Structure formats: structure tokens, C-alpha cells
Amino acid sequence: MDGGPQVFDRVFVQALSLGAGALRVAVKDTIDIAGHPTRAGSAVFDPAPPAAAHAEVVERLLAGGCRIVGKTHLHELAFGVTGVNPRFGTPPNPRYPDHVPGGSSSGSAAAVAAGLADFALGTDTGGSVRIPAACCGVFGIKPTFGRVSRRGVLPARSTLDCVGVLAGSAAMLARGMSIIDPTFQPDHSDAGVRLGRVEVDADAAILDALDEVLAQSGFAVAPAALARLNDAFDAGLIVINRENWQAFGHVAAHPLLGEDVRSRLAGASSVTDAALACAEAVRVAFASEVDAALAQVDALVLPTMASIPPRLADAGDARTAVGITQLVRPFNLSGHPAVTVPLSVPAQVPVALQLVGRHGDDARLCRIAERLAERIPNVIQSRGDP
């Protein structure tokens, strides 16, 4: 790859070359690549043996004509949203260098934004593809839950986590999805689009940017409401805490574990069975509410983040940033597919909108994002995709 290892080091991508295809792909280091250890951004797993086999999505990449160029760094144990990682280094944000790259798939977003990969794989348990995509000014998709194989992905069990794609354009997003998911058929329809604008609390500048995009889109837009959105955010935190404690509780006292993750794991250990049962009830109710809101529209639209993400200088305690996932985490709970579309705004800060679709409607979401990019000049997208 042009620039050699120094370029990889600069964006904290572990140098690797596998496959001989034309498309360059970076892979988050929670996804197994045979012959390389999976460390999940943690020194705790420095002694981990090399993976014995490729994750299923890696097998699909290689079969689909891709060249894997690196394993990307991440927020430790994929349990954080800023991407700040004192042990392995924090991937710099190529487009907004004063701001955090977002987590947990920070290296994957940074690699795409820096032009080091045509697309990248990340994982999204509570916004961990969509948040770094928004922070770094690229596209990102969290597929319908269960649609993309998680065989060979850490943690082994999750009711929230999805392998997703980050790319510089919506067209490349769909191309990446079609490679890792054999059921994904790109949508080339030009049929009319109906969007439901979800009313949320967010910074005025972010809402103004969203409304400007919708006004210029030419799409039909109707108001939509998700009364249980905040409850779903809280429930999503309860579920991820219980499942991450089950996956990583055995390393909570490890001396090399980062303090922010240690603190989150300590809190996660206190989730009760009763709290989990309540969260699961919210999951069912919220999923039904989203389904009802989608009954009359092709997709729901709302900001990806309600506020501007933290500046690097202010991101010392990553635990305080969990709130930036308040508009994305609920859709991990419900399992609906969601796409982040990055926007350019005069203030030159990270802003993005989020499209949420019906279960299984991933290709339609990618097509809507592509049509927005065709119509709206302030949608950020790379040109000249292979």
C-alpha cells in the first residue's frame, strides 16, 4: 500500500496484507483473521494465540475479490464510544483532527477517511459503526441484527452486536455489504422516497442541518414519533452491560486493563436479573413501536448524534461520553438496520444524519443514502470508488 507501514502507524492500523483483490479492506481487531491474534484493543490479550481460522466475514472478503490491508485499532474491548485508547494509541481523526474518532470502530473509520481502505469492517453493539462514521465523516451501516454472520467475532455471544461496513460513499457501502452478506442485493430503484422525521432533542445547529437536507432532498417527509426512544437507550445499556460482563468479567481485575473499561465493567457487574427482564420488555415494545412508525414510510430519519462529539483534549474520561449514543443505541436493541450519512456544515465539525429502515430493508437504506448524496451537495462522500 502507498505510504508503507508509517502511514499505517499514523492511523494506528496494524500492517497486514492478505488476498490479491482490487478492493482494499481494513478489518476491526475483534474479527478473527487466521494466523493473527485477535486482541480487541487490549493489552490483556497480548498473549493471545493467533486465530486458527478466518471469521466467516473474512472468508467472504477474500472470496469476493478483496485485499485485507490491516487490522484496525479500537476502543478497548469495543466497550467505549470515543476511540481513545491509551495502550495502543488513539487513531487520529483525518477529517476533524481536533475531535475524537469515535468508538469503538475508530480505526476502521479513520482508515476509510484517510483513504487507506476502500471500505472497512467494524462492529456495532451500541453505535460503534455509526458513531465513528459520523465522527470521521464517512458512511456506516449497522445491518439488521442477525443478517451478517458473527462467527469468529468477539464477543462470541451478543443479542445486540452486528458486523457492519464503513465506506466513503453509499455505493461502496452497498458494495461492501453485498460481499459480506450473500443475501444482500443492491437496490437501484428510483421510486419515490417517503421519510419519517423523528422528533428528538438535539443541538439546534444539528437539527437545522438535518432540516436543510430534507428540504433539498425532494423526498416526501412526515413527522414521526418514538415515545420509547429514551427508554430503549437505557435498556440497551443494561443489556450491553450484562452481556459484556459475561464476556469480559473474567479480565475485570487484570492489571493491564484500561481504567475507563475497568470502571464500566465494574458497573456492569451489578446488573440484576430483574433489570435485564425489564430491559427485554422494553426491547419488545420499542421494536413494535419502530415497526409501526415505519409502516407508512420507507425510512425514519434523525441525527446520528444529538451533539457535537468531544474534542480530543476533553475526552480523558471516556465514560462520560456514553450519552453521544442516545440516538443510535436504541436501534441495536430493536435490531433495525441503520445507516449514517455524513454532512458538511459551515462550522467544520462532525455532523451526520441517521436513516433507520425495516428489518431486512438494508439495501433500500443504502439506496436512499446514495440518492441523498446525489441530490445534496453537503453530503460528504469520496469520489472515484474502484
The dihedral sign for the CA sequence 198, 199, 201, 207: positive
Q: Which of 42, 71, 104, 169 is an active site residue?
A: 104
**128 catalytic per annotation:** yes
Q: Which of 42, 108, 128, 217 is an active site residue?
A: 128
Contact 160, 246 (CB under 8 A): no
Contact 343, 379 (CB under 8 A): yes
**CA 195 to each of CA 218, 335, 351, 356: distance values in angstroms, whole numbers, following the listed order:** 11, 19, 19, 10
Contact 366, 187 (CB under 8 A): yes
The dihedral sign for the CA sequence 203, 207, 208, 209: positive
Instruction: Kindly provide the residue ranges of all beta strands, DSSP E only, lying in 143-254, ordered along the sequence.
Output: 162-167, 194-198, 220-224
**28 catalytic per annotation:** yes
Q: How many CB atoms lie within 10 A of CB 385?
A: 14
**142 catalytic per annotation:** no
Alpha-carbon gap, residue 173 to 101, rounded angstroms = 19
Q: Which residues pair with 353 in a beta bridge?
A: 303, 341
Q: Which residues of 33-68 are buried (b: 16+ CB within 10 A; e: fewer)?
A: beebbbbbbbbbbeeeeebeebbbbbbbbbebebbb
Torsion on CA atoms 47, 53, 59, 62, rounded to nearest 10: 70
Q: Which of 28, 42, 142, 178 is an active site residue?
A: 28
Q: Which residues are catalytic?
A: 28, 104, 128
